[in-house]
Amino acid sequence: PIESLAAVFASHSNVHAVGINCTPPQFVPELVRRVRMAIPGIAVLAYPNSGETWHHESATWLGTATPLDYASAAKSWVEAGAKLVGGCCRTGPQHIKAMRAALQE
């Protein structure tokens, strides 16, 4: 469980943040909440992937990863308590730009 992993860092004075990385966006809010409960007061980062899935049979990515959808999802990460947000696999500058705009609203 993510709580067990996060707790490993609870007593390390040099650890100032714990991150959620390379997981589909829809799982991030719950994971952020669980990390915050495991280590109250630590900054939580959210850097999910696009949420698309690779299908080796057709050698294509399936799903949607529009910058606007990603930006909308980023709002839920921040609402859950993420202090730093960004993107991992299959996200790019357009996703980050859209997130910034959405989070500044």
Is pTM beyond 0.75? Reply is yes
Residue 44's pLDDT is 96
Q: What tens digit of pLDDT does each residue of 6-41 get? A: 989 888 889 999 999 999 999 999 999 999 999 998
**pLDDT surpasses 80 at 64:** no
Sign of the Cα torsion 36, 18, 97, 104 reads positive
Q: Name the DSSP class of 25.
A: G
Residue 80's pLDDT is 97
Provide the pLDDT confidence category of residue 63 given band limits of 50, 70 and 90: confident
